[in-house]
Structure 1
């Protein structure tokens, strides 16, 4: 999966490089076959295979898409639950508990709700909408899709965009780099990535089971790439790609952030093309938290900043909030904390927490991504460049994509997405100054674009006081010492948020599915939901068959 549009292709390039290595065929032949096979695989396989009849959901994670129990009888109230944080995790958790008849209260530090789902309206002409925070929804993000269906929110499907402007661009060393060059450069690195996985003994690498991954985890990604032989423009491409995708410079990231690109059981859609058909909530992503908040109504209290959590003699919890004019203390039998750890580490936790939980709260890395939205009077990248606006580059803007795909009108918005040191630096100066710098560099890719600039907006997540970062990013050593501890409950203290999600960390889906997971933990405790049974062995057969088809049949066709 990917948080940014171009990163989807980076994963696809890796998959194609691995297939080329396994088949022992030239890169050009693999690319030709991939282009001819993609349409059949995407359309006909779904129509004819057992995958369709089984309702296979691509990208379903360990907790992804699990639904809460059916609502309890009206009026039924059980022990009160307090949820802290009204982002998508807290809202989803509180909503599912309310549906089940559980008494729940939701507290938010700031005045607005929605967390990192935050849409900008009325700033650019022609009623264009862009996202200050989370933007893209994957086909496998089942929790988000389910919530949108419940709330009556439509999604725009970017597969319906003009196919003539579907080109993702790589611009490194002062020139455009072709797809074939990227795949060819990936081949030796892909082989090293496969070698790294040979010593791993499990499907997950976590603090509880490092699975043989500790030695690599202690390295930096930059060190691992150099040892693997990455150099020149391709090293720079991976550097920028991972800096923007995860939010920290690669000298501050674990190599496992890179190595987790490998899917040990790739489905046919990843082999034959891009598996992540992107969606966006029509009208703005914050429609979802807004409608959830409307359902919760007076159960939500805003402008309550959590400053302390302590245990009570009865085994419950006492929470202290700062508010205008003083403080407020409440007690609860159960608590769900959805605050990002950048903020939770500032809360006094007078609790007996496991050492690994303390370590996770205190040390978990966070990216420094920032978003610069620039409006243009026309979408030159489409009319002249035949591009969808997605550009990855060693120029200072790092990464762009179009935020107004499928939105009507002549004007358009490009997002400049930065991370690492550049993500911090873009917060200096004014939005106008940063916009001028971006347009100056984009002139090399799309000549004439600077003259079309009509406005800008900048959101700097590293310095936003209610976040202090973009999303979780594992630093060296953290996969094997922290991963998995973030979401573990401690007694009746539960944790949710994208940072607690094993499968969707850093995504809106991670927030939503972890909120649903925390709600389910409570519902099981209260006897309002049955414990999850292990998935039947035959339930995975269609997916396994599809994965086998993808790799085996491709190699057979080439042979």
Structure 2
């Protein structure tokens, strides 16, 4: 949702890419058979829930989708207001990697006849802003300004991590890795301490981790090993990246429009009861009975849902404790693209300032105006989240002014998405903490009675739209091979 690991790693010349297998079964759209399979209630109309509903419908199931919000898409939200000139920006899930890396997102984009627009990466037109100095976004510039040791030690972090990742053979079962339990207990920041990086290399490493997941003090080493192993298969450092033309929210809208039964919005679930014959899902407007329930929401909102019988102790702890990132997107529209017209730059920025990472949202959009998105996360995201909106805007604009002098005079409007304050998420996306991957991850990979869990937190592509859709396919595939009589 935020900085996206391919973009940052490629900018830092880090060749980490992906494998594409799945956990429970292959894609749900691969081998479907029509029939009267029964009734499934899907809780959550983000990408995971909508894909699960769509694929289950293809299998012949009757599907009811309940959504607490007044809109579709969950953490996929395209912001069109308050921007001028018809421009827009993504407040949540943003980047789609190329088809070799994110094949399922490409499948649905094509299935619903949507277009893709390339993200203007042009690292040669991006900048570092470090220790008060602006320099080109390249290792050469980094070495000439601060010494070759800085980028060498930054690379050493990834080299050491990738060496550990070679020991993970099954990405869907990280708990099966040799010494998994011990590696999972290692706090990532303490492991980084052992590398004794030079100060600036340490800053770059921590800013990457903070922007992509959370502060390293909150992360498990095993979790990062899993993520490194995921992106360690395709050596191409210039994997193309895309957004959906017209806004990423066009995909959830298209999937929802293909459902026989409209999504029920403004319908928060209050209780889920399993019976020998099915499930009874209570919400503020009534009750839905079904054969199975797919729980496709982030975990924090489930803390207020009553489960009967009680969930397993592991699932209860996961709902109560799983770590989520604290990303805040501060999105500013400017009357002109000063970074481009006056300075010949792309707006792409990596900095040691709290804003961390900046990119242009409008690189493929027409208009004289332009939009920059600052991705603020970790401790800095929590600090921003605690501020009033005007203070958030002023704080970020002041830092952007340091990088691009004259920019503040061009600002026309500022908005933000403060994911830690969103009651239906409680954070940005999952970022497994020490001890959590080996304990919680296996519990999501199998049904719990007549409940199935979906969402980015259950898939190897954590934090990506690809992970959400894959998880929806996974639960649909499992149910698709069964009938309501089971």
Task: Determine the structure 1 residue equivalent to 2:117.
Answer: 156
Post-superposition Cα deviations, 1:328-367, rounded to whole Å, max 9, x if no partner, equal 2222111111011111232111236444333322321111
Instruction: Give SS of 2:126's match.
Output: strand
Q: Sort the Cα spacing of 1:251 and 1:499 in 2 relative to 1 into closer, same or farther, 3 A.
A: same
Task: Determine the structure 2 residue equivalent to 1:83.
Answer: 42
Assess if the C-alpha contact under 8 Å between 1:3 and 1:507 holds in 2. Answer: no
In the alignment, which of 361, 365, 368 is matched to residue 407 of structure 1?
365
The residue correspondences of 1:313-462 to structure 2 (distance < 5 A) are: 314-323=276-285, 328-351=286-309, 353-462=311-420
Q: Sort the Cα spacing of 1:127 and 1:516 in 2 relative to 1 into closer, same or farther, 3 A.
A: same
Measure how far apart 1:320 and its partner are: 1.3
How many angstroms apart in 2 are the aligned matches of 1:9 and 1:201?
Answer: 23
Q: Sort the Cα spacing of 1:476 and 1:281 in 2 relative to 1 into closer, same or farther, 3 A.
A: same
Measure how far apart 1:251 and its partner are: 1.2
Q: Sort the Cα spacing of 1:299 and 1:406 in 2 relative to 1 into closer, same or farther, 3 A.
A: closer
How many angstroms apart in 1 are the aligned matches of 2:297 and 2:5?
Answer: 29
Measure how far apart 1:125 and its partner are: 1.3
Measure how far apart 1:428 and its partner are: 3.8
In the alignment, which of 88, 97, 107 is matched to residue 146 of structure 1?
107
The residue correspondences of 1:20-99 to structure 2 (distance < 5 A) are: 59-62=19-22, 66-69=27-30, 72=33, 76-99=35-58
Instruction: Give SS of 2:220's match.
Output: coil
Measure how far apart 1:266 and its partner are: 4.4
Instruction: Give SS of 1:482's match.
Output: helix
Measure how far apart 1:257 and its partner are: 4.3
Task: Determine the structure 2 residue equivalent to 1:542.
Answer: none
Assess if the C-alpha contact under 8 Å between 1:372 and 1:431 holds in 2. Answer: no
Assess if the C-alpha contact under 8 Å between 1:206 and 1:482 holds in 2. Answer: no
Q: Sort the Cα spacing of 1:186 and 1:240 in 2 relative to 1 into closer, same or farther, 3 A.
A: closer
Task: Determine the structure 2 residue equivalent to 1:519.
Answer: 476
In the alignment, which of 85, 88, 93 is matched to residue 129 of structure 1?
88
Measure how far apart 1:274 and its partner are: 2.3
Measure how far apart 1:470 and its partner are: 0.6
Highest relative contact order (Cα 8 Å, sep 6+), 1 or 2? 2
Q: CA RMSD in A?
A: 2.8
How many angstroms apart in 2 are the aligned matches of 1:167 and 1:138?
Answer: 20
Q: Sort the Cα spacing of 1:70 and 1:99 in 2 relative to 1 into closer, same or farther, 3 A.
A: same
How many angstroms apart in 1 are the aligned matches of 2:238 and 2:201?
Answer: 21
Task: Determine the structure 2 residue equivalent to 1:253.
Answer: 219
Measure how far apart 1:101 and its partner are: 2.2
The residue correspondences of 1:194-209 to structure 2 (distance < 5 A) are: 194=162, 196-197=164-165, 200=167, 202-204=169-171, 206=173, 208-209=175-176
**Higher gyration radius (CA):** 1
How many angstroms apart in 1 are the aligned matches of 2:206 and 2:231?
Answer: 26
In the alignment, which of 107, 111, 122 is matched to residue 66 of structure 2?
107
Measure how far apart 1:369 and its partner are: 0.6
Q: Sort the Cα spacing of 1:13 and 1:120 in 2 relative to 1 into closer, same or farther, 3 A.
A: closer
Task: Determine the structure 1 residue equivalent to 2:185.
Answer: 218
How many angstroms apart in 1 are the aligned matches of 2:418 and 2:264?
Answer: 26
Instruction: Give SS of 2:48's match.
Output: helix
Post-superposition Cα deviations, 1:259-290, rounded to whole Å, max 9, x if no partner, equal 445449945643xx323x11100001111111
Instruction: Give SS of 1:125's match.
Output: coil
The residue correspondences of 1:483-502 to structure 2 (distance < 5 A) are: 483-501=441-459
Q: TM-score, normalised by structure 2?
A: 0.89
Measure how far apart 1:515 and its partner are: 0.7
How many angstroms apart in 2 are the aligned matches of 1:105 and 1:261?
Answer: 34
Q: Sort the Cα spacing of 1:492 and 1:258 in 2 relative to 1 into closer, same or farther, 3 A.
A: closer
How many angstroms apart in 1 are the aligned matches of 2:59 and 2:323?
Answer: 35
Q: TM-score, normalised by structure 1?
A: 0.78
How many angstroms apart in 2 are the aligned matches of 1:108 and 1:304?
Answer: 5
How many angstroms apart in 2 are the aligned matches of 1:256 and 1:72?
Answer: 39
Instruction: Give SS of 1:415's match.
Output: strand
In the alignment, which of 153, 157, 172 is matched to residue 189 of structure 1?
157
Q: Sort the Cα spacing of 1:359 and 1:162 in 2 relative to 1 into closer, same or farther, 3 A.
A: closer
Instruction: Give SS of 1:103's match.
Output: strand
Measure how far apart 1:60 and its partner are: 2.3
Measure how far apart 1:440 and its partner are: 1.8
How many angstroms apart in 2 are the aligned matches of 1:5 and 1:309?
Answer: 34
